[in-house]
Amino acid sequence: MSTLRTPSTSEALPIVLAPMAGGPSTPELTAAVSNAGGLGMLAAGYLSAQALIDAARSTASLLSDGHTFGINLFCPDSVGDNETEENLLRWAEFRDLLAPVAEKFDVDLPSTPTWSDDHFTEKLEAICADDFLPSPGALEYVSFTFGYPDADVVARVKETGRKVVLNATSIDGVRAAADAGADRIVLQGLAAGGHRGYVDGKDSSDIIGATIDELAAAVAEATRATDVSIIAAGGVGGAEDVVKLLRAGATAVQVGTRFLTAEEAGTKPTHARALLELQGRETTLTHAFSGKPARTISNRFAEEFSDPAPALYPQLHYLTTPIRGAANTVGDPEYLNLWAGSGYSKCKAQPAAEIVAELAGC
């Protein structure tokens, strides 16, 4: 395994924990990555504002002296942007297709579609409040997924002394993120697990390929396109991948899938078991679970419903929630969103600090 360096106890390692919404992200995992020398990112997605406040304060309380963490927010579409008559009809048709699966798991599906901004304004107000954390300096970064916030939002975050992190899946996206005021840009390759960092109207979809070599080439191009520091993400499995991406010009590498089986993660048991037991399966991109493209271990739900599923987020997320919850409860991986990057075969059940050390080649 290629070696980056042997760090001192206070030296930062170029490993960033990807924010993993929906359960895997916990204060314990976030703090463990930061305390190991990386940067832990706490996912705010699907949390209430109060739940985020509680999780952030818990994370800060677990940090060792001098270590920091970040928080990720979903940046919502405008209210009703995708709730056209045609889309509502497609949602209803897809609900009808899911009815036999709901009956199989003995669950009820929502009768009407649900749109939500994921409490964006309330969370932003909480993060910017003077009393958000007892030690304000513990929160160093605020990142945004699914969109680029308005200039006033970026300015407010920066006024707190925190750095703004934005996502891109193409060089066009890198330029757009830089123009939007990013202090750091996460450049995500096609092999990344979970939801794509694509920003509609700003980014170019699926430009970067699914290999580390293609991601490294994109990183090199991105460093020529902007002076903003680039964090590389997508399909990172081991230290060799990290070395290649850093040599291409990335200042750090963001990793998510490897941490889904960390001891401190809150990953659903059925999902965690699938990451360890289904390692012969391919991964696939699908929007069937949530309405947004996301990479999962291939399973029956993705195979049967990817084609007919409308691209409606978050309406599909809420529509499939009862099925996914029941599948996890009974231990059925075929109907659960098994988010995983292409490097998931490297997953092991181990402490987060060990994963950071392995990725850093220590």
Q: pTM for the full model?
A: 0.94
Can you give the pLDDT at residue 189?
95
pLDDT class of 5 with cuts at 50, 70, 90: very low
Length of the chain: 362
- Note whether 261 and 20 are within 8 A (CB): no
Which residue, among 19, 24, 55, has the nearest Cα to 39 in the 3D structure?
A: 19
7 pLDDT band (50/70/90 cuts)?
very low
Does 122 have pLDDT greater than 50? yes
pLDDT at 3: 34
pLDDT digits (tens, 9 = 90+) for 127-139: 999 999 999 999 9
What are the tens digits of pLDDT across the range 178-202? 999 999 999 999 999 999 998 988 8
**What class, spelled out in words, does domain 1-76+117-263+348-362 have in CATH?**
alpha beta
Residue from 10, 46, 76, 2 nearest 321 by CA:
46
Which residue ranges make up each domain of the chain?
Answer: 1-76+117-263+348-362, 82-115+279-337
Phi, psi of 286 (to 5 degrees): -150, 150
In this predicted structure, the answer to whether residue 1 has a pLDDT above a threshold of 60 is no
Kindly give, in sequence order, each residue whose CB lies less than 8 Å from that of residue 92, ignoring residues fewer than 6 positions away.
none
Q: What percent of the chain has a predicted confidence (pLDDT) above 90?
A: 88
Q: What is the pLDDT of residue 206?
A: 62
Contacts of 163 (CB under 8 A, 6+ apart): 140, 141, 142, 183, 184
Mean residue pLDDT across the chain: 93
The tally of CA atoms less than 13 A away on the side-chain side of residue 62 is 21
Tell me how far apart the alpha carbons of residues 128 and 84 are, in angstroms, rounded to a whole number.
34
Residue 46 has pLDDT above 90, yes or no: yes
The alpha carbon of residue 246 and the mean position of all alpha carbons in its chain are separated, in whole angstroms, by 21
**Stretch 252-280: mean pLDDT:** 97
